Structure 1
């Protein structure tokens, strides 16, 4: 079985998922889905996955400005999602890497993303963030 897929995951209520082919050097799929659907996508591709890269909110050192209490609650939820992803991938014996948010260029515009990747489909910021975890891997 050819294991050449790198999957990027941006956890959250709206989970971004990107599928990158190392062989073809391009993005194959981008999705914004609920967490259970993201688990299904990863499970379905399991035999072809070389690695899953997850933006790990537990490694975030800042929350930014704004409503501090709301951000803490949201961050706590995403941190729990990161732990669920870690447990899921360990249980499935799928290689993974928990990646610090500061080590990935995220929050890029649609125009820049299209110019960089050549992806012409509709994207959300969650899907673009997931794609940046795997782009050019």
Structure 2
């Protein structure tokens, strides 16, 4: 039986990817940007269709990220929304 691997990239829009792994490496089936609620609904559909034992979910966890590149410089140019964006990504990861 094939296992389905779901990759979640949190953010303003949720990056959503599905790969099917039949034991010889995964093959990408689907990749798209969705709202967080649509990504969750799609995940539930796959669990209902294939069973939770055949699904593995990989979620980017930005709470473990310590480097933010040029966020300070971008904040000086664009305002505090830059840091707020980082916070919303962390919030979405904790929701998952």
Bigger relative CO (Cα 8 Å, ≥ 6 apart): 1
Cα RMSD for the two superposed structures: 1.7
1:12-48: CA deviations, max 9, x gaps?
1111000001117310111101111000110000126
Q: 2:59 aligns to what SS in structure 1?
A: strand
**Structure 2: where are the runs of 5+ without partners?**
none
Among candidates 64, 69, 73, match of residue 84 of structure 2: 73
Runs of 4+ in 1 over 3 A off after TM superposition: none
Following the alignment from structure 1 to structure 2, what is the Cα–Cα distance between the partners of residues 25 and 82?
A: 24
- TM-score for the superposition, normalised by structure 1: 0.56
Q: Is the 8 A contact 1:8 1:18 kept in 2?
A: yes
**Structure 1: where are the runs of 5+ without partners?**
86-137
Aligned length: 84
Following the alignment from structure 2 to structure 1, what is the Cα–Cα distance between the partners of residues 38 and 62?
A: 20
Do structure 1's residue 19 and structure 2's residue 27 form an aligned pair? no
Q: 1:67 aligns to what SS in structure 2?
A: helix
Q: 1:43 aligns to what SS in structure 2?
A: helix
Following the alignment from structure 1 to structure 2, what is the Cα–Cα distance between the partners of residues 50 and 41?
A: 12
Greater C-alpha Rg: 2
Following the alignment from structure 1 to structure 2, what is the Cα–Cα distance between the partners of residues 32 and 6?
A: 16
Following the alignment from structure 2 to structure 1, what is the Cα–Cα distance between the partners of residues 30 and 84?
A: 30
Higher strand share: 2
Following the alignment from structure 1 to structure 2, what is the Cα–Cα distance between the partners of residues 62 and 15?
A: 21
Q: Which residue of 2 aligns with 1:41?
A: 42
